[in-house]
Amino acid sequence: MRGLWLPAASLRGRENSAAKAYLVGSGIASLSAVAFLIREGRFSGSDITILEEQDRMGGSLDAVGSPDTGYTMRGGRMFEVHFDCTYDLLKSIPSLDDPSKSVTQDTFDFQENFAWYDHARLIDKGGNKVEAHSMGFTDQDRLELIKCVATPEKLLDGKRISDCFHPDFFTTNFWFMRCTTFAFEPWHSAIEFRRYLNRFVHLFKTFDTMSGIYRTKYNQYDSIVRPLLAWLDSKGVTIQLNTTVTDLVFASGNQVTVRALQWTRGGPPSRFRSAQRTWCS
> For the chain, which residues make up each domain, given as ranges?
3-76+219-280, 78-115, 122-206
Quick one: pLDDT at residue 107?
A: 93
What pLDDT, on a 0 to 100 scale, did the predictor assign at position 13?
A: 47
d(CA 38, CA 94): 15
Give the strands of the sheet with 270-280, arranged side by side: 238-240, 48-51, 21-24, 3-6, 270-280, 257-264, 244-250
pLDDT for 5 beyond 70 = no
Strand pairing report for 70-72 and 122-123: unpaired
Residue 222 phi, psi dihedral angles, 5° rounding: -75, -30
Phi and psi for 68 in degrees, rounded to 5? -80, -40
| 273 or 59: which leads in pLDDT | 59
Q: Report residue 270's pLDDT band, with 50, 70 and 90 as the boundaries.
A: low
Residue 79: the pLDDT is: 86
pLDDT digits (tens, 9 = 90+) for 204-222: 899 999 998 988 989 899 9
Cα angle value 121/124/125 (rounded, 5°): 135
3-class DSSP state of 228:
helix
User: Rounded to whole angstroms, how far apart are CA atoms 172 and 142?
Assistant: 12
Residues 79 and 73 sit within 8 Å (Cβ to Cβ):
no
- 87 an active-site residue? no
Q: What is the pLDDT of residues 246-255, one digit of tens each?
A: 998 888 877 7
Q: Is the dihedral of CA 23, 27, 30, 31 positive or negative?
A: positive
Percent of the chain topping pLDDT 70: 88
- Mean pLDDT of the 62-83 span: 84
Residue 93 reports pLDDT greater than 50: yes
List the catalytic residue out of 117, 196, 214, 221. Answer: 196
Query: What's the whole-number mean pLDDT along residues 52-61?
Result: 89
Mean model confidence pLDDT for the chain: 87
Mean pLDDT of 227-240: 96
For the 3-76+219-280 domain, the top CATH level (class) is alpha beta
Beta bridge partners of 24: 3, 51
* Across 156-164, average pLDDT: 97
pTM of the predicted protein model: 0.78
Question: Which among 258, 226, 227, 246 is positioned nearest to 51, based on CA atoms?
Answer: 246
Please enumerate in sequence order all residues whose Cβ is within 8 A of that of 87, keeping only pairs 6 or more positions apart, or say none.
104, 107
Cα angle 219, 224, 226 (rounded to 5 degrees) comes to: 95
Compute the distance between CA of residue 192 and CA of residue 145 in angstroms, rounded to an integer. Answer: 14
Question: Cβ contacts of residue 262 below 8 Å, gap of 6+?
Answer: 245, 246, 247, 248, 249, 269, 270, 271
pLDDT at 276 over 90: no
Task: Give yes or no for residue 259 having a pLDDT over 50.
Answer: yes
| Whether pLDDT at 171 is above 70 | yes
Query: How many beta carbons lie within 10 A of that of residue 278, not counting itself?
Result: 18
